[in-house]
Chain A
Amino acid sequence: MTCEEAREAFTDLYDGTLSGPPLVVLSQHLDACAACRAEWAGFRRTTQALEELGDEEPSPGFAARVAERIEAPSWWHRMAAALVFPWRVKLPIHAFALVLLCIVGLWMFQRSPDVQQATHLRTPVPTERPAPPPPAPLVSPPAPAKAQEATPPAAVQPSRTATPEVPGAAPAPRVTGKVEAPSVVREQAGAGQEASTGDETSKPSTPPPGAAEKRAESDTATLRALRSTTGPTESRSAAQPVPPAGSSGLPTPGTRSLSTHRTADEIFSAAATEFAAQQYERAIQDLQLFLGQYPGDGRTPDARFLLADSYRAERRYAEAQAGFDAFLQQYPEHRKAPAARYRQAEIRLATGDPSGCTMLQDALSRYPEIREAGPAREMLSAQCP
C-alpha cells in the first residue's frame, strides 16, 4: 500500500467502514510509515475539532418569532382588511347614509312645489301651443285709437281697482238646455238647426254672408281693446290658484293645463291669442282655466267678456247670453259694458227673441259712437222692421 492509498482510506478508517484485509494492510502501513501516521493524527484532530464545535443557540424567542410569522396574515389578507371595513363598522355607516339620503330627498320634495304638483297629476296631456296666428281678416282697417277714445276712461279704472269677485257670487245660472231658434233667425242664418252646447254637428253649416268677417273684425277690436287696457304683469294682483267654483259660466278644472303649471299671464295670453286666431274652442278652455285658477286676478272682467264673446262666436248662444248677462250685472260700468249690451241684443236677435230689437235700439241710443253701432244699425234695419 502506498502512502496515497493509505491516506485515501482515512475516512473509511475513521468512520469504521473499513474491515477485513484492507484494514489489516492499512494498519501495517501506519505502523511502518511515520509520515502517514502524522497525517492520520492531523486527520483525527481536524474531525475531532469539528465535532467539538457543537451546536449554537439562536437568539431568545426564536420559536415565538417563527410562530408569529406563521400566524401573521398574508399580504392579500392585509390588503383586504385595509380596503374593506369589517361588517360591524360598515353596516352602521351604510344605515346612516341611507337615512341621510331619505332626509335629503324628503326635504327637496317639500321645497319644490312643482314636484309636488306633478305627483298629484294623473293623466298629463301635452300642451299644444299654437303658432302665432295670422292677423285676423278685417273688412275695414281697425281703429284702435278710436276704440280707445270711445271707451270711457272712468270705466277702466274700476275694473283695475275693483275687488276681485268671487266666482259664483254673481247669479249666473248655468244653461245646459237647448234653445229653439226662431224661424226668423233660421232664415237669416241660412239654417234651422237648434243651438246646442258644444254640439258641432248642430251648428249652422252656412253662416250669413259677411258675418264671419264682421265677427272677426269685431273680435279683433275687442281683443285689442282688452289687451291695451291690461297693465303690466307686475301691477296685477298676485292671485294664487284656487279650486274652481261650480258657478255658471265658470270653468271646471281644465284638462289642458294638467301637464304643467301655467301662470295667470301664460293662460290669459294664450287665450287672447287663440281668440284672435278664431280658435274659440281653445280660447274657451283657457279662459275657463284662467277664471277657475285665478279668480282674483285683475283681468277677470276681461276674461269673462272674452269667454261670453267666444260662446257667441261658437253660436253657443245660451252660454253666451248667460255670460253677458252676468258680466253686465257684475260690471255695469266696465269699459266693455256698451259692447256687451250690443252683444246681448245680437244674441237675442240670433235666437229669435223679439226683445233683441228693443235692446238694440236702446244700445244705439245710449252708445251711438262705438264701433259696434255700425253693424248694429244694419242688423236693426234688416231684422227689426
Chain B
Amino acid sequence: MVSFPPGAGRAGAAQPPPDWMGTLDDTAGLSLQDESGDGRRTAAPDEDRCLVDRAQAGDVRAFEALVRRHERWVFSVALRMVGDRADAEDVAQEVFLKAYRGLQGFRGGSRFSTWLYAIASHHCLNHLAGRESRARRAARVDTPTEARDENPGSVLDRVADQSPRPDAVLERRDLRRVIQSHLLELTEEHRIVLILRDIQGLSYEEIAASVGIELGTVRSRLHRARMELKVRLAPHLAEGSDT
C-alpha cells in the first residue's frame, strides 16, 4: 500500500513518490517554475492594498504602479486566450481600464489579484465571443462547433492514428508555439480554466470565483481540457524527450 501526498503529480512533493512517478520525473525533463503549490501570484497583498487606496483617491501614478506589478500575468492570460500579441495587448489594456473604472467598487474583500483575475477572465471570454461572432458574420459560414463536453476518449480516438514522430524533439521555443496553437484549439471555457490552473497556478476556489462557476465545474473542465491537450500534444511530447 502506497500513500500519496496532496499534489502527488506536482514536483516538490513532501514525500518521495513511487517508482512510476519518480521515473516519470526523470524522463519528463521539464522543469517547473513555481513550487508554491497554491498559485504563482505571490505579490504582496499589503503593497497592493496601499496602491489601491491611493488609486481610489485619484492617484493615477499609483494605479500605474499596480499595472506594472500585474501586467505580466494579465498580458499572459490574454495572450494564451487570444493567441496574438497585439490583440493581447489591447485586451490587457482594456482589462486595466475596466479595473480603473471599477476601482471604487473594490472593497478589499478579496485580494486585488483575484479581483483582477475575474475582470481579465470575463473580458477575455467576452472578447473572444465578440470576435467569433464578428468572424461568423463576416464569413457567413456556420462552422460546426465542437462539443463542449466532448468525451476525452473520443478525442483520443480521433487522433489515435497520429503516430508520434520518433525524432520529435522540439526546441523549447517551438514547443511553446505548438502548445499555444493547441491551446487555441480548446474551447474558451476549457482554455481559461486550464490557463488559470496550470499556467497561472490558481486554486480551484480562485478559478471558480474568477470565472464564476462551481468548484465541481472547475474540476470537470480542467480534467477534460488536460486530457484533450494531452492527446493533441502527444506527438510532440515523446517519452524520454529532454526539451
Contacts and interface: CB of A to CB of B under 8 A. Distances in A.
Interface in B105-119: none
A149 interface: no
Contact of A66 (B3, B93, B199): B93
Contacts of B2: 24, 27, 31
A8 B223 contact: yes
A59 B233 CA distance: 29
Interface stretch (A35-43, A164-172, A264-272, A308-316): A35-43
Contacts of B88: 58
Interface string B1-23: 11111111111000000101000
Interface string A22-51: 011001001100000111111111111111
B71 A58 contact: yes
A46 B238 CA distance: 11
Contacts of A37: 20
A14 B75 CA distance: 27
Nearest to B194: A50
A50 B239 contact: no
A99 interface: no
B67 A46 contact: no
A40 B20 CA distance: 9
A37 B21 CA distance: 9
A67 B60 contact: yes
Contact of A62 (B79, B89, B97, B100): B89
A66 B97 contact: yes
Contacts of B1: 24, 27
B155 interface: no
Interface string B85-97: 1001100110011
A255 interface: no
Nearest to B176: A53
B10 A14 contact: yes
A47 B8 contact: no
A59 B234 CA distance: 32
Interface residues of B, number: 65
B97 A49 contact: no
Contacts of A358: none
A50 B228 CA distance: 13
Nearest to B239: A41
A16 B9 contact: yes
Given A24-B2, A43-B230, A65-B93, A15 B194 contact: no
Interface in A79-120: none
A55 interface: yes
B75 A16 contact: no
Interface of A: 4, 7-8, 10-19, 23-24, 27, 30-31, 37-59, 62-67, 69-71
Interface of B: 1-11, 18, 20, 24, 27-28, 30-34, 60-61, 63-65, 67-68, 71-73, 75-76, 79-80, 85, 88-89, 92-93, 96-97, 100, 153, 172, 175-176, 179-180, 194, 198-199, 201, 204, 219, 222-223, 226-227, 229-230, 233-234, 237, 239
28 contacts: A4-B153, A11-B219, A12-B219, A13-B8, A16-B6, A16-B7, A27-B18, A30-B20, A39-B230, A40-B20, A44-B9, A44-B28, A45-B28, A45-B233, A48-B32, A50-B198, A50-B229, A52-B32, A53-B199, A56-B75, A56-B85, A58-B72, A62-B75, A63-B67, A63-B71, A66-B93, A66-B97, A69-B97
